[in-house]
Structures are given as structure tokens and as C-alpha cells.
């Protein structure tokens, strides 16, 4: 690949990641659906609160019903012992206390028994004494069941709302991207391969969808979860919380380092995926040439190199994750060990309850779950942010031909009477001049032929007339007005071009030829097909004009594709028709058909014929010979032959 090609086709290198700025750029696409997103966020808060309540209910059940905190003071200020207090107003309690006087201590209206003595009682008796605790446990279980059911329905609604918002947002982004790409200048497409653009509209947009529907919900939920757990733990026991939270600065530092390392890998991955798609698209499109010149091995090596680079980027990303995830697991185990050590010591010292220790263990596990979730989803986030960078490179691309201001805009004339080039200078690449001080005038109804060797600048003239490019200097005029003052779509509505290799879109032949919005009668359609000599092969197709075409019209011959292109130009009903090497790939018989059609087609129309084959140009009113970007000869066929100049020599070579 030459240095020039590298400069054209290489992806732009991105600077330092600005994730916040990317999210700001995405906001206009989120804004129309902010109500859906707001409802989703509210649901996330409710769901998070419900999840936070579950461990706390467990604490309440343990401390109030399973191992109540009620205690009694023994003599001589010995350590307190956990005990069960039963209400003596209950006849069954009075009966049990009377039956086992050695086990109970009567304290006013309560019969108190130490937990260590409970095993001395029969199991049925224990259940009678603790029937209130059993009732409390039952109610707690029911509450947990209600919370699970409510969470299920809230999660269902949340997913539906998020998917609807995400799908709609990505729909809008894809439409915006597609519309923007269609409005870019032809120059943009010369430096961006098809595979890259396909990757942007498909893969990269899908990555954005996954971030908003899968990741965003988790991140917001996990954020609220982390805050909620912190608040609850500090409200239960701030001392134990402070000890446990000494681990978390290391966790956040590890997460920060991880994000910086992984970002580069994902950026590289997005570029390599686009390069793989571009190479594969190029290979499929040029398969005939590759096989004809036995370039399979060379092409394979090029693809293998790109694929190996993609593999290396993928391995870099996996290595980062392989290091980060075990590190987070280790931090989680350390935090649990701290909780068990200090919490167990506090229980022995009777500073905290068993329920407090259990709830701390539950919340610490819950705390690390969001961190693990964020790590697992981070690859999607990084993919999406890398995709967003590439998407906005296209959306912010200003390679668009400027339209005139509204106050300078000129209405397109009803008929194109004159077309002029006034001292036009043009180049595709700086300092490589393609057209050098070109000037000429074409009158309405005149047929002009432009001839010259390959690379002389003939097609560049067409590109300037159709305003695919603007001249570097000079001007292209229609009816005395610079075409830059017309609305580009209005200008092109007056022009039709039949190119060297016409493009046939997938779909029916009817859609390919009759693309304009206005309706045509069957007679008008038939007349166009007759004049363009398309009926001869369309009638042989299974479904005639409604036959479906394959991609690029591969089922048609090159001559048939050019005849369809001529029919398309006729249906467009233009003032100016440009034939750019229109008979280059056509056999003599088909060329005769086209020549016959041209005599009818060009009545009352201006025509420009660009050709290598001088037989196509001989009947033109005027022939312009272009060489090295300059018009060197002008005249009719006979006049130029008499001059015995450059045209004469071309004619001799082709004769």
C-alpha cells in the first residue's frame, strides 16, 4: 500500500478519551425519550430499595425472633447471658413455668429462661414458649415473598421501558447516521472503505444499543446499590463499617487502573473489526480478479495480518480482565475476613448482635456484586464508547459541499440554456492538478463530445457539472449563475448521467428505472423502454419489469446494465444528459442500439458525451479534446481531422 493510500484509508487516531463529552453528545438522542428513561430510573430506585430491605429483614428476624436480644443479669456482675422472656399472662406459659421451676426465673409478669437451658425442655414445650417468635418469622417470610413478587413485576416493567427507549434511540441514531452519510461529498467515500462504513452503521450502533439497554441500567442500579449499602451499614454500626471500608480505596484504585488499561484495547478492537469488514468486503467484490490472477495466497496473508492484530487486541483486553476479576474476588474475601474477625470479636464482647454480623456479611457480598457486574459489563461499555467515538467522527465530518445562504440562494431555472466553465482549476489531492484553467460554453440543445486519453480529466468535468466536487478556482455556470448558488438537489434534478459501470440496486427493475415520485402511465413506461432498447431483454425475464435484481445487477450483462441506466436517465426527463464512457463495455451491436437511441434521446436536450472510442463522438456538434487537464483542441470531427493534431492521431490509432 502506498503512503497516499495509507493516508486515505487509515482510521483517524483518537486522542485522550473524554467519556463525559461522549455522553453529552449522546444526550440529544436520549432527550426525546427522557420520560421513559426517568420512569426507568425511578423503578431502579424502588428495585434497589427492595433488594436492600431483604438483608435488613433477615437481621430483624435473627435479633428479634430467632436469637432475641433480651438478656438477664446474673449475680456478682458476671457476663450477661442471652435469655428468653415469656409473658406469664399466657396460661400455657404459667403451666410450663410451674412444671419446671428450676429452669425459670420469675421477673414480675415474665418468666425468663436462659437459652442454654432450653434444650432441657421437650421440643413441643419449646415451640409453645416461642410461638410469638414463630409468628414473627412467618410474617417476615411472607414479607420477603411479597418483596420478591413486587421486584419481579418492577423488573419486568423496567426491562420493557428500557428496551423501548433504547431501541427507539438507536433507531434515531442509525437514521441520523445513514442520512448524514448520504449527504456527505463523494470525496468522503474515496477515503472511507465500504466495510468501515457498514461497521459503523451496524456493529457500532448495536454496541450503543447494548450499552443503553444492558449496561446503563446495571450501572445506575449498582451505583444506587453501593450508596444504599454504605448508608445502611454506617447506620447499623459505624465502627465496624469504617474498619471494613479500609479495603475499598484499593478496590477503586484497581478499577481506575483497569479502566485506563482496557480502554486502549477496545479502541484498537473497534478499528480492527472495521478493517476486517473492509478487507472482507473488498475480497468478495474483487473475487473474480483475485482468482484470475491467482492472488489467493497474497490476499490471505493480508487478511491474516489484520486478523492477527485483532487477536492481539482481544488478548490484551482478556489479559486485563483476567487480572482484574481475581483481584476483585481477593478484595471481596479480604473484606469478608475483616467482617468475620472484627464482627465475631464484637459478638463475643456482646457489643453487637448476631443479626448485625449476618447483615454485614450479606451487605458486603452485595457490595462487591455491583463491582463485579460493572467489571463484567465494562467490556460492553468500552465497546460502546469506542463505537461512539467512531460514530461521532462520521457525524461530525464536515466533508459536505456547502450550500448557499438563504439570502444568496438562486432558484433553478426552468430550462438549462447555457453551461459554462470559466477558468476552472481542480485537483483531488493538493498540488496534483487535474483540470488546469479549463473554459468552454455549451448551448441548449447542443451535443458536445469530450475525448482524450485516460486520466486526462474527462470524468472530472462530469464531477464538477454534477457538483460532486467544487472547483479550486474559477466557476461552473448555468444560465449565467454559479451552480454553487443553486440548491444542489435542484441542480441535479436537471441532469442525468449514464456512467461507465452503472449501479443496479437490489429490488425490482421497475424500481431501478422509474425512481422518481411522479406516476407514469403504462404507455409512457413502454415508450421509455422501447427508446432505450430495454424491452428486448426485459420481456425475456420471468417477471418482466417486476423481476427482482441481485446485488449490483450481477445477473445482467454489462450491456444490459448500461441500457437500464439509459432508461433510468430517460425516466428522469433531464435537460442535460451526460454519457460518461457509456459504451466502453458494450459490444458493437449494443453500441449501434445506443447510437440509434441517442438520436431520439437528445432531441431538444443538451448532451455531453465522454468517450475513449471516437466512433461515439463523431456525430457530436462539437468535440473538445482534453489532455493533461487542458482543452487543447475544439471543433467538429471533420475540422479536427483536417487539423491533423492530437485528435487526428487518436483517430489514426483507433482506426
**Mean pLDDT computed over 575-579:** 88
Sorting pLDDT into bands at 50, 70 and 90, what band is 66? confident
Has residue 582 got a pLDDT over 90?
no
**Mean pLDDT computed over 282-288:** 72
Q: What is the pLDDT of residue 571?
A: 84
Q: What is the pLDDT of residue 8?
A: 40
Q: What is the pLDDT of residue 73?
A: 44
Alpha helices (runs of H) in 286-353, residue ranges in sequence order: 287-292, 296-348
Alpha helices (runs of H) in 31-130, residue ranges in sequence order: 34-61, 91-99, 123-129
Residue environment code for 594-606, b if the CB has 16+ CB neighbours within 10 A, otherwise e: beebbeebbeebb
pLDDT digits (tens, 9 = 90+) for 116-169: 788 888 888 888 888 888 888 889 899 999 999 999 999 899 888 888 888 888
Q: What is the pLDDT of residue 2?
A: 41
Q: Give the chain's largest Cα–Cα span.
A: 140
Q: Are 355 and 58 in contact (CB under 8 A)?
A: yes
How many CB atoms are located within 10 Å of the residue 184 CB? 17
CATH 3.40.50.300 residue ranges for the chain: 503-572
Has residue 49 got a pLDDT over 60?
yes
Q: What is the pLDDT of residue 438?
A: 93
Instruction: Tell me which DSSP letter residue 101 carries.
Output: T
Sorting pLDDT into bands at 50, 70 and 90, what band is 625? very high
Cell output for 300: 490471505
Q: Name which of 371, 478, 370 is nearest 422 in CA terms.
A: 478
- Cα separation, 425 vs 470, in Å, equals 10
End-to-end Cα separation, the chain, in angstroms:
38
Residue with the larger pLDDT of the pair 76 and 126: 126
Q: Name which of 311, 308, 304, 267 is nearest 283 in CA terms.
A: 304
pLDDT digits (tens, 9 = 90+) for 356-392: 888 888 888 888 777 777 666 766 776 777 778 778 8
Q: What is the pLDDT of residue 535?
A: 84
Determine the CATH number of domain 503-572. 3.40.50.300
What mean pLDDT value characterizes the chain? 80
Q: Give the alpha-carbon dihedral of 600, 605, 606, 609, to 10 degrees.
A: -20
Sorting pLDDT into bands at 50, 70 and 90, what band is 594? low
**Mean pLDDT computed over 547-571:** 79
pLDDT digits (tens, 9 = 90+) for 213-252: 777 677 777 788 888 888 888 888 888 888 887 887 877 7
Sorting pLDDT into bands at 50, 70 and 90, what band is 584? low
Instruction: Tell me which DSSP letter residue 72 carries.
Output: E
Percentage of the chain beyond pLDDT 70 is: 85
Q: Is 45 exposed, middle or buried (0-12, 13-18, 19+ CB in 10 A)?
A: middle
Q: Are 51 and 150 in contact (CB under 8 A)?
A: no
Map grid coordinates 455531453 to a residue: 608
Q: What is the pLDDT of residue 40?
A: 86
Residue environment code for 464-474, b if the CB has 16+ CB neighbours within 10 A, otherwise e: bbbbbbbbeeb
pLDDT digits (tens, 9 = 90+) for 313-370: 778 777 777 777 777 778 778 888 888 888 778 777 777 778 788 888 888 888 877 7
Sorting pLDDT into bands at 50, 70 and 90, what band is 421? very high
Q: Are 374 and 222 in contact (CB under 8 A)?
A: yes
Residue with the larger pLDDT of the pair 442 and 289: 442
% helix, strand, coil for the chain, step of 5: 65, 15, 25
**Mean pLDDT computed over 412-436:** 90
Q: Are 400 and 183 in contact (CB under 8 A)?
A: yes
What Cα–Cα distance (Å) separates residue 306 from each residue in 50, 276, 279, 280, 453?
49, 7, 9, 11, 37
Residue with the larger pLDDT of the pair 191 and 599: 191
Q: Name which of 528, 594, 609 is nearest 562 in CA terms.
A: 594
- Cα separation, 432 vs 427, in Å, equals 6
Sorting pLDDT into bands at 50, 70 and 90, what band is 77? very low
CATH 1.20.1560.10 residue ranges for the chain: 3-64+135-388
CATH top-level class for 3-64+135-388?
Answer: mainly alpha
Q: Which H helix or E strand runs over 429?
A: strand 418-429
Which of 72-86, 215-229, 246-260 is predicted least confidently? 72-86
Q: Which H helix or E strand runs over 631?
A: strand 630-635
Q: Are 500 and 425 in contact (CB under 8 A)?
A: no
Q: What is the pLDDT of residue 482?
A: 92
**Mean pLDDT computed over 488-507:** 82
Has residue 644 got a pLDDT over 80?
yes
Beta-sheet pairing, 447-451 with 606-611: parallel
Q: What is the pLDDT of residue 76?
A: 46
Residue with the larger pLDDT of the pair 406 and 74: 406
Q: What is the pLDDT of residue 4?
A: 39
- Cα separation, 507 vs 542, in Å, equals 14
How many CB atoms are located within 10 Å of the residue 60 CB? 16
How many CB atoms are located within 10 Å of the residue 267 CB? 22
Grouping H, G, I as helix, E, B as strand and the rest as coil, residue 541 is: coil
Using a cut of 0.85, tell me whether the model's pTM lies above it: no
Q: Name which of 500, 472, 493 is nearest 584 in CA terms.
A: 500
- Cα separation, 110 vs 132, in Å, equals 14
Q: Name which of 476, 475, 387 is nearest 174 in CA terms.
A: 387
Q: Name which of 174, 213, 212 is nearest 394 in CA terms.
A: 174
Amino acid at each position: 500500500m502506498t503512503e497516499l493510500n495509507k493516508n486515505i484509508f487509515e482510521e483517524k487516531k483518537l486522542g485522550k478519551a473524554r467519556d463525559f463529552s461522549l455522553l453529552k453528545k449522546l444526550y440529544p438522542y436520549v432527550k426525546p425519550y427522557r420520560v421513559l428513561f426517568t420512569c426507568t430510573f425511578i423503578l431502579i430506585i424502588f428495585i434497589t430499595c427492595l433488594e436492600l430491605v431483604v438483608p435488613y429483614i433477615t437481621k430483624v428476624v435473627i435479633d428479634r425472633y430467632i436469637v432475641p436480644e433480651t438478656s438477664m443479669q446474673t449475680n456478682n456482675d458476671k457476663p450477661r447471658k442471652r435469655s428468653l422472656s415469656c409473658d406469664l399472662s399466657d396460661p400455657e406459659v404459667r403451666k410450663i413455668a410451674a412444671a419446671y421451676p428450676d429452669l425459670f426465673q420469675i421477673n414480675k409478669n415474665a418468666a425468663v429462661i436462659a437459652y442454654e437451658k432450653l434444650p432441657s425442655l421437650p421440643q413441643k414445650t419449646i415451640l409453645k414458649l416461642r410461638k410469638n417468635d414463630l409468628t414473627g418469622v412467618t410474617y417476615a417470610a411472607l414479607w420477603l415473598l411479597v418483596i420478591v413478587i413486587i421486584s419481579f413485576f418492577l423488573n419486568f416493567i423496567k426491562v420493557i421501558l428500557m428496551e423501548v427507549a433504547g431501541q427507539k434511540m438507536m433507531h434515531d441514531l442509525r437514521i441520523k447516521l445513514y442520512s448524514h452519510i448520504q449527504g456527505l461529498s463523494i470525496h468522503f467515500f474515496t477515503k472511507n472503505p465500504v466495510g468501515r462504513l457498514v461497521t459503523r452503521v451496524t456493529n457500532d450502533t448495536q454496541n450503543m444499543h447494548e450499552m443503553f439497554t444492558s449496561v446503563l441500567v446495571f450501572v445506575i442500579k449498582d451505583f444506587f446499590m453501593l450508596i444504599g449499602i454504605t448508608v445502611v451499614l454506617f447506620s447499623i454500626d459505624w465502627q465496624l463499617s469504617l474498619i471494613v471500608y479500609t479495603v475499598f480505596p484499593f478496590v477503586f484504585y484497581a478499577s481506575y487502573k483497569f479502566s485506563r488499561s482496557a480502554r486502549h484495547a477496545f479502541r484498537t478492537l473497534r478499528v480492527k473489526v472495521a478493517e476486517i469488514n473492509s478487507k472482507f468486503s473488498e475480497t468478495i467484490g474483487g473475487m473474480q480478479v483475485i482468482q484470475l490472477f491467482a492472488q489467493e495466497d497474497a490476499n490471505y496473508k493480508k487478511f491474516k495480518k489484520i486478523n492477527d492484530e485483532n487477536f492481539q487486541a482481544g488478548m490484551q483486553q482478556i489479559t486485563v480482565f483476567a487480572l482484574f476479576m481475581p483481584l476483585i474476588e481477593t478484595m471481596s474475601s479480604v473484606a469478608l475476613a475483616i467482617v468475620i474477625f472484627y464482627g465475631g470479636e464484637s459478638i463475643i464482647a456482646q457489643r453487637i448482635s448476631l443479626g448485625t454480623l449476618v447483615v454485614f456479611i450479606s451487605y458486603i457480598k452485595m457490595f462487591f456484586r455491583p463491582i463485579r457486574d460493572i467489571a463484567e459489563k465494562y467490556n460492553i461499555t468500552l465497546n460502546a464508547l469506542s463505537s461512539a467515538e467512531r460514530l461521532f467522527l462520521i457525524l461530525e465530518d464536515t466533508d459536505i459541499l456547502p450550500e448557499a445562504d438563504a439570502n444568496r440562494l438562486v432558484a433553478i431555472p426552468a430550462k438549462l440554456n447555457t453551461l459554462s466553465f470559466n477558468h476552472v482549476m481542480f485537483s483531488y489531492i493538493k498540488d496534483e492538478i487535474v483540470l488546469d484553467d479549463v473554459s468552454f460554453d455549451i448551448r441548449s440543445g447542443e451535443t458536445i463530445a469530450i475525448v482524450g486519453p485516460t486520466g486526462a480529466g474527462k470524468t472530472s468535468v462530469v464531477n464538477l457539472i454534477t457538483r460532486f466536487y467544487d472547483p479550486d478556482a474559477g466557476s461552473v455556470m448555468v444560465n449565467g449563475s454559479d451552480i454553487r448558488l443553486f440548491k444542489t438537489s435542484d441542480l441535479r434534478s436537471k441532469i442525468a448521467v449514464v456512467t461507465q459501470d452503472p449501479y443496479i440496486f437490489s429490488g425490482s427493475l421497475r424500481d431501478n428505472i422509474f425512481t422518481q415520485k411522479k406516476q407514469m402511465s403504462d404507455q409512457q413506461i413502454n415508450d421509455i423502454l422501447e427508446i432505450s432498447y430495454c424491452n428486448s431483454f426485459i420481456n425475456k425475464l420471468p417477471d418482466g419489469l417486476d423481476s427482482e435484481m441481485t446485488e449490483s445487477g450481477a445477473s445482467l450483462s454489462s450491456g444490459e446494465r448500461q441500457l437500464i441506466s439509459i432508461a433510468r436517465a430517460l425516466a428522469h426527463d433531464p435537460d442535460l444528459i451526460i454519457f460518461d464512457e457509456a459504451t466502453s463495455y458494450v459490444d458493437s451491436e449494443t453500441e449501434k442500439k445506443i447510437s440509434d437511441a441517442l438520436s431520439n434521446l437528445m432531441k431538444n436536450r443538451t448532451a455531453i458525451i465522454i468517450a475513449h472510442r471516437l466512433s461515439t463522438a463523431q456525430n457530436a456538434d462539437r468535440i473538445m479534446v482534453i489532455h493533461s487537464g487542458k482543452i487543447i483542441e475544439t471543433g467538429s470531427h471533420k475540422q479536427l481531422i483536417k487539423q491533423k493534431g492530437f485528435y487526428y492521431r487518436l483517430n489514426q490509432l483507433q482506426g
